[in-house]
């Protein structure tokens, strides 16, 4: 039996495995992933393309597309194991308890209905209210996400609105169901920076005021630093490091996290361009041992053979590295990433 | 125009590009994508052209190479006025000016092997014999950090970063002098982006290349360019050396753009920012005044007058804002009061 989760834990993901069965072989897109999300907190899920961050989110709402399959794992939301629910029950959870915001808002909206219709439909389903009431509520929601002139904009179709405006509509729609959990999958990636700043503000204030939890998927460490309380770093289907945002940025322990931070360019600081050598490994033929070892400047023999397990690296901070666990005695020097520059 | 400045290899003068937009069967309106822009790029340096989507930076880059025809204005490369040339003469010049595209996969022909892709520009622009071409292709591969056995592979067999290396190899195949880099790293992962940026810098040093680097990403511009021009709705609103733009931005748009970039340091969270309300307005039939008027916190009636031109600030630094001319010292206070009440 499971231990009682902490009272502020809303989502508890345990040992999640999602595999894709392709002609080339099995892709372990999500490999033994475990984490918790707390109420009222925004958690950033960071990784490069192919690291499994989007599939992790799809697994939570059980919308993994074939040939993908959730192989094992538990997903506890507010004391309920989502994996044990029937298809119909899960459908209820998706509408009422979990909402999702996608990367391309225009593709996620139905082009044949006005945006006001789409938001009020969500409200009608949840509240079982009349169409009139729902429409008024929808306009209120649009006002809450700072859409100017919501009465007129409610009658617009998605193609008549800009990308930033469509994303506001998505946020309004996702939050109109008052979800316990909001999953945002790269919601600002296609937007301009000045508009991105507006949408991030909006997500921050709405999540805070609703007391829900938010899983914010992104590849942009700048956005994480600005928005999130906690960070989960994924690499090749595994969580390699997680902890509070200040810890991860000031005291990153996994070499991949260190490399990621070192290679992030900043507008406020001049520094040489560092990079992580090599490329993200082929998902079908993952390297043996620690999947990061071919790109790691600190890798030793042990890293090639044995996969490290998650170890404590500080208060509420854990990572997956033989050096941190003490199996290998070695110092991780920051210069290693700079040397790579030569 | 005479050679006023010997250092300037690329000189753009009053470049303009209009697109006709059909609004109904009989009426057309004009969309001015690039509105009277001028700048110089010294030989061997990198000019950054930065702005948000729809500001005309890609259109400007394509006009420079005459991939699309500019409506008016002049583009000089060395002592050659490219806008004077007939199209067959431009085709001959293409070997000297090349482009690297944003989408590395989409800009490579999927049915051609890497060897064939790299040989094509050599067939078009050089008189090398078959053996010399083979040699050149191998040399190109090693210059961009790929292996000789990659020659017979197809683009889809490579990762995004490797595909962009192929795109770069194709661009330098004919020994060009000038390359337009159109968002060369925005489709790439963070850890790979640095590799491509460093490759571009190394090739520039080795081959003496002149770059126009088009990007919406200010952090990339800061780390690769010597000079920067900021565009908004078809116009250059500010230009100067990279240090001038990033350390003392003068135009409200540049200030807002810089302050909107998320900083990867949680300690800096919650710092005071200059935020622009709303979004970029439609570029069709714009009023004559300052393009930023509808979003600018410092706006005043004088901003609706035609213009403003670029006002000189220091050395190479200039900005198109009447407040720069008047050097209004109380702007900080104005900004905060303009935003104290929510929209």
CA distance A225 to chain B (A): 5
Window A:264-283, CB contacts with B under 8 Å: 264-268, 270, 273-277, 279-280
Of A197, A250, A276, the CB nearest to B260: A197
Phi and psi dihedrals of A71, rounded to 5? -85, -45
B189 in contact with A, Cβ within 8 Å? yes
Tell me if B155 is assigned to some domain: yes
Looking at residues A201-220, what average pLDDT do you find? 88
A263, closest residue in chain B (CA to CA):
B191
Question: Is the CB of residue A92 less than 8 Å from the CB of residue A220?
Answer: no
Residue keyed to tokens 């780390």: B223
Tell me if B248 is assigned to some domain: yes
Question: Is the CB of residue B35 less than 8 Å from the CB of residue B234?
Answer: yes
- Please choose, from the candidates B125, B121, B153, the residue with its C-alpha nearest in 3D space to the C-alpha of residue B137: B121
Torsion, Cα B236 B240 B244 B250, to 10 degrees, reads -30
pLDDT band at B331 (very low <50, low <70, confident <90, very high): very low
Total domains in chain A come to 1
Question: Encoding tokens for residue B341?
Answer: 């009440």
From CA B224, how far away is CA B219, in angstroms rounded? 9
CA distance A328 to chain B (A): 25
* Interface probe with B: pick from A192, A196, A236, A338, most Cβ of B within 10 Å: A192
pLDDT for A6 equals 55
Residue range(s) defining the domain that contains residue B26: 8-263+275-339
User: What average pLDDT does the structure give for chain B?
Assistant: 88
Question: Encoding tokens for residue B217?
Answer: 């990403």
Tell me if B3 is assigned to some domain: no
Which helix (H) or strand (E) segment holds residue B210: the answer is strand B210-215
User: What average pLDDT does the structure give for chain A?
Assistant: 88
Residue range(s) defining the domain that contains residue A64: 9-97+179-339
Tell me if B208 is assigned to some domain: yes
Q: What is the CATH number of the domain that holds B151?
A: 3.40.50.300
From CA A15, how far away is CA A1, in angstroms rounded? 15
pLDDT band at A328 (very low <50, low <70, confident <90, very high): confident
Tell me if B2 is assigned to some domain: no
B93 in contact with A, Cβ within 8 Å? no
A224 in contact with B, Cβ within 8 Å? yes
Looking at residues A173-194, what average pLDDT do you find? 86
Residue B122 pLDDT > 70, yes or no? Answer: yes
Question: Is the CB of residue B181 less than 8 Å from the CB of residue B200?
Answer: yes
B341 in contact with A, Cβ within 8 Å? no
Which helix (H) or strand (E) segment holds residue A153: the answer is helix A150-153
Question: Is the CB of residue A273 less than 8 Å from the CB of residue B223?
Answer: yes
Q: Mean pLDDT lowest for which of A72-81, A182-191, A245-254?
A: A182-191
CA distance A265 to chain B (A): 6
* Interface probe with A: pick from B187, B199, B262, most Cβ of A within 10 Å: B262
CA distance A284 to chain B (A): 14
Question: Encoding tokens for residue A257?
Answer: 């996290």
pLDDT for A196 equals 87
CA distance A148 to chain B (A): 9
From CA A204, how far away is CA A202, in angstroms rounded? 5
Handedness of CA A51, A55, A59, A61 (dihedral sign): positive
Question: Encoding tokens for residue B127?
Answer: 């008189």
Question: Encoding tokens for residue A189?
Answer: 């990636």
B306 in contact with A, Cβ within 8 Å? no
pLDDT digits 0-9 by tens, B134-157 = 999 999 999 999 988 899 999 999
pLDDT for B16 equals 94
Question: Is the CB of residue A70 less than 8 Å from the CB of residue A18?
Answer: yes
- Higher-pLDDT residue of B279 and B147 is B147
Question: Encoding tokens for residue A144?
Answer: 């809450």
A4 in contact with B, Cβ within 8 Å? no
Looking at residues B9-23, what average pLDDT do you find? 91
From CA A100, how far away is CA B75, in angstroms rounded? 48
Residue B22's DSSP bridge partners are B28
pLDDT digits 0-9 by tens, A25-73 = 899 999 999 999 998 899 999 998 889 999 999 999 999 988 899 999 9
pLDDT for B228 equals 97
- Please choose, from the candidates A61, A7, A284, the residue with its C-alpha nearest in 3D space to the C-alpha of residue A181: A61
Looking at residues B117-136, what average pLDDT do you find? 93
pLDDT digits 0-9 by tens, A148-165 = 788 888 999 988 888 888
User: What is the CB-side half-sphere exposure of residue B190 using CA atoms within 13 A?
Assistant: 23
B194 in contact with A, Cβ within 8 Å? yes
Residues of B in contact with A223 (CB under 8 A): 262
From CA A20, how far away is CA A54, in angstroms rounded? 13
**Percentage of chain A surpassing pLDDT 90?**
47
Of B218, B264, B273, the CB nearest to A249: B264
Highest mean pLDDT among A160-164, A242-246, B52-56, B157-161: A242-246
pLDDT digits 0-9 by tens, A278-310 = 888 888 888 999 999 999 999 999 999 999 999
pLDDT band at B165 (very low <50, low <70, confident <90, very high): very high
Tell me if A266 is assigned to some domain: yes
pLDDT digits 0-9 by tens, A73-105 = 999 998 899 999 999 999 889 878 999 988 888
Tell me if A145 is assigned to some domain: no
Q: How far apart are the first and last CA of chain A?
A: 54
Tell me if B291 is assigned to some domain: yes
Residue keyed to tokens 């330098």: B172
pLDDT for A230 equals 94
Instruction: Please answer yes or no on whether B263 and A264 come within 8 Å at the CB atom.
Output: no
Tell me if A62 is assigned to some domain: yes
Instruction: Please answer yes or no on whether B197 and A341 come within 8 Å at the CB atom.
Output: no
- Three-state SS for A104-142 is CHHHHCCCCCCHHHHHHHHHHHHHCCCHHHHHHHHHHHH
pLDDT for B41 equals 95
Q: Mean pLDDT lowest for which of B134-143, B200-209, B216-225, B282-291?
A: B282-291
pLDDT for A111 equals 92
Residue B343 pLDDT > 70, yes or no? Answer: no
Q: Please state the pTM of the whole predicted model.
A: 0.87
Question: Encoding tokens for residue A205?
Answer: 């204030």
Residue keyed to tokens 């067959």: B88
Which helix (H) or strand (E) segment holds residue A19: the answer is strand A9-21
B92 in contact with A, Cβ within 8 Å? no
pLDDT for A7 equals 60
From CA A158, how far away is CA A92, in angstroms rounded? 26
Tell me if A221 is assigned to some domain: yes
- Please choose, from the candidates B262, B253, B104, the residue with its C-alpha nearest in 3D space to the C-alpha of residue B168: B104
Window A:109-148, CB contacts with B under 8 Å: 146, 148
- Interface predicted TM-score of the whole assembly (ipTM), two decimals: 0.83
Total domains in chain B come to 1
Classify residue B334 as exposed, middle or buried by CB count within 10 Å of its CB (0-12, 13-18, 19+). Answer: middle
- Own/partner contacts of B249-252, CB < 8 Å, gap of 24 or more, are B250/B313, B250/B317, B250/B319, B250/B321, B250/B324, B251/B292, B251/B319, B251/B320, B251/B321, B251/B324, B252/B292, B252/B296, B252/B297, B252/B298, B252/B321, B252/B323
pLDDT for B335 equals 46
Biggest CA-to-CA distance, chain B = 71
Q: What is the CATH number of the domain that holds A304?
A: 3.40.50.300
CA distance A256 to chain B (A): 10
**Percentage of chain A surpassing pLDDT 70?**
96
User: Cβ neighbours of residue B322 under 8 Å, at least 6 residues apart?
Assistant: B290, B300, B302, B303, B307, B308, B311
Classify residue B306 as exposed, middle or buried by CB count within 10 Å of its CB (0-12, 13-18, 19+). Answer: exposed
- Please choose, from the candidates A197, A214, A137, A202, the residue with its C-alpha nearest in 3D space to the C-alpha of residue A170: A202
B263 in contact with A, Cβ within 8 Å? yes
pLDDT for B226 equals 95
pLDDT digits 0-9 by tens, A120-129 = 988 888 888 8
Instruction: Please answer yes or no on whether B343 and A194 come within 8 Å at the CB atom.
Output: no
pLDDT for B337 equals 40
pLDDT band at A176 (very low <50, low <70, confident <90, very high): confident
Tell me if B270 is assigned to some domain: no
């Amino acid at each position: 039996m499971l231990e009682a989760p902490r009272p502020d834990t809303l989502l508890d993901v345990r040992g999640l495995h999602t595999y894709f069965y392709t002609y080339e072989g099995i892709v372990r897109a999500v490999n033994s992933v475990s984490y918790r999300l707390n109420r009222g907190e925004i958690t950033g899920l960071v990784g490069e393309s192919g690291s499994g961050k989007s599939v992790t989110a799809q697994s939570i709402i059980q919308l993994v597309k074939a040939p993908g399959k959730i192989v094992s794992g538990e997903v506890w939301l507010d004391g309920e194991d989502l994996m044990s629910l029937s298809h119909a029950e899960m459908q209820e959870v998706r509408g009422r308890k979990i909402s999702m915001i996608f990367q391309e808002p225009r593709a996620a909206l139905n082009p044949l209905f006005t945006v006001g219709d789409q938001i009020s439909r969500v409200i009608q389903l949840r509240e079982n209210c009349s169409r009139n009431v729902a429409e008024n509520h929808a306009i209120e929601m649009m006002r809450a996400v700072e859409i100017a002139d919501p009465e007129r904009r409610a009658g617009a179709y998605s193609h008549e609105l800009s990308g930033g405006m469509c994303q506001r509509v998505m946020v309004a729609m996702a939050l109109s169901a008052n979800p316990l959990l909001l999953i945002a999958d790269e919601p600002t990636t296609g937007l301009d920076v000045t508009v991105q700043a507006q949408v991030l503000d909006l997500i921050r204030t709405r999540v805070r005021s609703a007391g829900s939890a938010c899983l914010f998927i992104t590849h942009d460490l700048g956005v994480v630093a600005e928005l999130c309380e906690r960070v989960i770093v994924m690499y090749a289907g595994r969580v390699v490091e997680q902890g509070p945002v200040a810890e991860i940025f000031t005291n990153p322990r996994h070499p991949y996290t260190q490399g990621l931070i070192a290679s992030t360019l900043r507008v406020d600081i001049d520094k040489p361009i560092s990079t992580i050598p090599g490329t993200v490994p082929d998902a079908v033929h993952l390297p043996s041992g620690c999947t990061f070892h071919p790109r790691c400047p600190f890798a030793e023999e042990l890293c090639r053979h044995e996969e490290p397990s998650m170890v404590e690296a500080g208060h509420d901070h854990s990572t997956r590295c033989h050096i941190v666990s003490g199996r290998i005695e070695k110092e991780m020097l920051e210069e290693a990433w700079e040397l790579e520059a030569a | 125009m005479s050679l006023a400045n010997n250092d300037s290899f690329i000189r753009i003068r009053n470049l303009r590009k209009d697109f006709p937009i059909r609004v109904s069967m009989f009426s057309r309106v004009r969309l001015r994508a690039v509105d009277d822009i001028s700048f110089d790029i010294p030989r061997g340096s990198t000019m950054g052209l930065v702005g948000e989507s729809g500001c005309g930076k890609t259109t400007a880059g394509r006009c420079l190479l005459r991939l699309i025809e500019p409506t008016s204005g002049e583009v000089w490369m060395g002592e050659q006025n490219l806008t004077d040339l007939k199209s067959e003469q431009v085709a001959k010049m293409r070997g000297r000016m090349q482009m690297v595209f944003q989408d590395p996969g989409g800009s490579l022909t999927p049915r051609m092997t890497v060897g064939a892709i790299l040989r094509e520009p050599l067939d078009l622009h050089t008189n090398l014999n078959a053996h010399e071409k083979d040699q050149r292709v191998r040399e190109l591969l090693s210059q961009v950090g790929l292996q000789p056995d990659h020659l017979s592979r197809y683009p889809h067999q490579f990762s995004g970063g490797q595909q962009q290396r192929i795109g770069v190899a194709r661009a330098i195949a004919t020994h060009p002098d000038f390359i337009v880099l159109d968002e060369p790293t925005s489709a790439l992962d963070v850890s790979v982006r640095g590799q491509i940026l460093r490759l571009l810098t190394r090739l520039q040093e080795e081959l003496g290349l002149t770059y126009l680097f088009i990007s919406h990403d200010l952090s990339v511009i800061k780390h690769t360019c010597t000079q920067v021009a900021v565009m908004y709705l078809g116009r250059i609103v500010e230009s100067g050396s990279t240090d001038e733009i990033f350390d003392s931005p003068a135009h409200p748009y540049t200030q807002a753009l810089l302050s909107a970039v998320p900083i990867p340091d949680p300690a800096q969270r919650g710092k005071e920012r200059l935020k622009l309300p709303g979004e970029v307005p439609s570029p069709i039939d714009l009023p004559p005044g300052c393009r930023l008027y509808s979003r600018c916190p410092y706006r005043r009636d004088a901003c609706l007058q035609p213009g403003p031109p670029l006002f000189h600030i220091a050395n190479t630094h200039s900005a198109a804002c009447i407040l720069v001319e008047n050097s209004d010292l109380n702007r900080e206070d104005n900004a905060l009061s303009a935003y104290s009440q929510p929209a």
